[in-house]
Amino acid sequence: MEDNKKKPASAPVTEEKIESVGPWTIAWRKFRANRVAMIGLIVFVLIILAVLFVPMMMGINVTDYELNNMNAAPSSAHWLGTDAQGRDCLYRLFLGGRISIMVGLIAAILTVVLGCLVGGIAGYYGGLVDNLLMRFSEIVYSLPFTPMIIAIASVMLWVPQNQKMYTVAFLIGALSWPGLARLVRGQILTLREQEFMQACEALGFSDFSKITKHLLPNVISLVIVNATLQMASAVLTEAGLSFLGMGVMAPTPSWGNLMNLARNGQVFKNYPWQWLPAGIMCLLTVVSINLIGEGLRDAFDPKEIQ
Amino acid sequence: MLKYICKRLLASIPVLIVISMIIFGVVKAMPGDEVTAYLGPGSKATAEIKEEAREKLGLNKSIPEQYVLWVGRVVTGDLGTSVALKKPVGQIISDYVWNTFLLNAVSLVVALIFAIPIGIRQAVKKGSLEDNFWTVFSLMGISVPTFFFGLLLIFFIGQNVSWLPISGMRDTMLASFGYDSIFQEIGDVAVHMILPTIVLAFGSFATFSRYVRNSMVEVINMDYVRTARAKGLKEKTIIYKHAFKNALIPLVTLLGLYIPSLFSGAVILETVFVWPGIGKILIDAINQRDSSLVNACLLFSAVLMILGNLLSDVCYSVVDPRVKVDG
């Protein structure tokens, strides 16, 4: 009761609207003003919605085969035709989108977690820890990315087919964190020398609160931008791997293995509706994610004030 | 500088050793039996012959022993024999690597010819319609899966233009009966290169034009550029002589990183166009479980990767005198 009474008294009476905008608001405003980035965002949201809800609304089951209607051209019943098993191509296109985007997302998250952990620890503690961790990341960084992923993927045959997508995501994440780790480490190294960190030291904050409350917020924009671009490239890598038949395996569709159908000369020539839309969707998705990423980079960049 | 390069090279030896272990481990873990791969699929070899082959391939020893033996051979220049192609691996790589280099180098040159002037124009006309067009265009370049772009070209152009070959590097007939003249051979290879070059050059163009644009934008706002204007120099001289020279720095770093990768092949693209390069033999070798060839290809790419990183650092300090390397 007492608190309630006190509150109005303690509140300042300045009702003038002096807006104090935080860094997030500024970033969002800049992002919103960036027309190209907004188009990217809208396209990406549309793709996500389509991928999530269109398969549900189509009223088809995964097990719907029309064996008397194979390789049918696009028609009003099947907007993108049917494939060699008489399955609806539009349905599989969107199901495949779920997998492809999911792989990109998981890979990006893994990259961010590993990159931040390794880079953050190396930059913050320095010395021997830094040396060891950076050596380790140099090794991973020097592995030839695509050939290595293909080789490792060809080893991991024991993984059940329905879990293949996680293997692919894991591999991409496990091999692409060193770039981010270097960036984070570099940032932390410069931040560590600044006055506000000395103030933290003087105030006797714990390592944990120094890292989470004072260092991480300063690298978060870098991390977000990187995660976005990372996701775009992970979607591309998945597509390439599955195209070679070493990524996500049929019957699970993904944009990559739908394009894999094009390796069959017959399908490539005569049934383009089976592989072409997957490539276009993949391209659209990656372009939109890249647009968002670049918009974010400009939005977070303190040099670019509009 | 020499001291720095030597130091870096020495430092990369332990990295290379760990990488070779990883590569060897991965290849060992690949499914399938090396003996079967060696004898050829469907061979009705007796158990005795199989045992003999095992012995010959050194498969009876423990894995670490096999690794040490392999490293010993690689260091002395013996990369082993490809079981599928029945040829020394060193010879296969030196045969194919030039095909890869040819394709990549031509693509890089094509990409640079377009990327540099376009990137500069974009920077000069920053924010204009033209700038936005090229920005979107190059964004497409980094966003399109290379193999999909390749497939599109084959589908829409290759199938309809009869003189444009869609796969391979040479005409089968001409290659097996021999070319009439060297010019015919050059022409034949050049025609085969058109489509894959477009795809590769598009990707590199995107990367390079973005670099050129961004570094030009930064440089154009510098004080010395304003000084040059104040002196009344021609705009062309300012842009190409004063500004572009300094904008070259990030470009050269990127080029340093690029040069070794000219040899290592675009794995998926070479598969799409059946281009007989390092990338394609790697995929074939993985599919045929040709372990010594896979080992060699992976190791080769790793060495190129390390060289690329070193080269880009060296280039950086050569071009930009402000950067000092700690020797």
SS3 of residue B178 by DSSP: coil
A contact test, residue of B143, B154, B284 with most A CBs within 10 A:
B143
Is B291 in contact with B34 (CB distance < 8 Å)? yes
- Cβ-nearest to B306 among A135, A142, A147: A142
| Interface contact B294-A151, CB threshold 8 A | yes
Residues of chain A neighbouring B282 (CB-CB closer than 8 A) = 147, 150
Cβ of A147 and B15 within 8 Å? no
Nearest-CA distance A72 → chain B (Å): 19
Helix (H) or strand (E) holding B88: strand B87-88
Report the candidate in B46, B24, B26, B50 with the shortest Cα–Cα distance to residue B36: B50
What pLDDT is recorded for position A180? 92
Task: Please answer yes or no on whether B143 and A287 come within 8 Å at the CB atom.
Answer: yes
Q: Find residue A88's DSSP bridge partners.
A: A82
Look at B27 and A286 and tell me if their CB atoms are within 8 Å: no
- Which value does ipTM take for this structure? 0.85
Instruction: From chain A, pick out residues whose CB is under 8 angstroms from the CB of B160.
Output: none
Give every residue of chain B whose pLDDT is below 70, as ranges: 37, 40-43, 323-327
Distance CA A278, CA A256 (A): 8
Q: What's the pLDDT at B42?
A: 64
Mutate to test the interface with A, among B30, B33, B140, B147 (most CBs of A within 10 A): B147
Residue B88: strand pairing partners: B81
Distance CA B172, CA B308 (A): 36
pLDDT at A2: 45
Contact B298 A151 (CB under 8 A): yes
- For residue A5, the model assigns a pLDDT of 46
Contacts of B26 in chain A (CB under 8 A): 148, 151-152, 155
pLDDT along chain A (306 residues), means of 10: 46 61 84 88 95 83 71 76 79 91 95 92 89 92 89 83 87 93 90 86 85 84 91 93 86 89 86 90 94 89 62
